Amino acid sequence: MYIADQREAVVTSANLTAGGLRINSEYGVLLGDESLIRAIDRDVREYASLGAEMPDDALVRFCAVAAEAKRLYDAQMSAASRKTSRRLIASLAAANEELLRARLGGGAVHTVFARTIEYLLRAHGAMTTASLHTHIQRVHPDLCDDAVDRVIDGHSFGKKWKHAVRTAQQQLKKRGAVRLANGRWSLVANEDR
């Protein structure tokens, strides 16, 4: 999507590359409806805000960990030893941890989920918790691991990420940003707060 001066936009499969501009056969649509363009621009910016900017130092650390993971992967492929396999698994876990740390932008996962809930309610209107879970898991599959349960004193209390979503819902409700009525969550208009 390319927007110029909020008056015209091109929505296309073409990337801004030599192939996308000159070589590949691509489809695109030129839009001139300013209200539609503003809505698209707002939606993309809100969706982008659900992530976190990765500072240069975090990117450098992630690249170093990823380079080590690749080196170990290559070593494993050429000499599939158990020691190399264990080191590769540890390196991949470290890379994933570093990426998640950067992804959360130094905040808690429920903070990311709170921004996502507000985004989803703006985009889709009132939703049940189950529906929010489905959408949140699509937006943040890396943060919604169904293999991790919340266990207290040996008793499972469901998926850990769903508890983080509940925490986000309750914080938003306490702030007066959302309300729950008839089993559906909805945004509270600014003038109603």
φ/ψ of 91, rounded to 5, equals -65, -40
Cβ neighbors of 35 (< 8 A, separation 6 or more) are: none
Q: What is the pLDDT of residue 193?
A: 56
Cα 98 from Cα 86, distance rounded (Å): 18
Cα 62 from Cα 6, distance rounded (Å): 36
Sign of CA dihedral 110, 157, 143, 59: positive
Name the CATH topology of 109-192: Arc Repressor Mutant, subunit A (1.10.10)
Tokens standing for residue 35: 């209200």
Work out the average pLDDT over 162-168: 94
Sign of CA dihedral 57, 92, 99, 40: positive
Tokens standing for residue 43: 């939606």
pLDDT-wise least confident of 64-78, 100-114, 129-143: 100-114
Work out the average pLDDT over 117-123: 95
Reported confidence tier of residue 124, pLDDT bands at 50, 70, 90:
very high
In this prediction the pTM is 0.60
Domain boundaries, the chain: 2-48, 56-103, 109-192
* Residue 151 CA: distances (Å) to CA of 52, 156, 158: 29, 4, 8
Q: Which residue has the tokens 């990426």?
A: 99
Cα 8 from Cα 31, distance rounded (Å): 6
Q: What is the pLDDT of residue 117?
A: 96
Give the ranges where 1-147 is alpha helix by DSSP (H): 18, 34-48, 56-78, 82-103, 109-124, 129-139
Q: Which residue has the tokens 């936009």?
A: 9
Name the 3-class secondary structure at 170: helix
* pLDDT per residue as tens digits for the range 33-85: 999 999 999 888 888 888 878 889 988 998 999 999 998 888 877 766 677 77
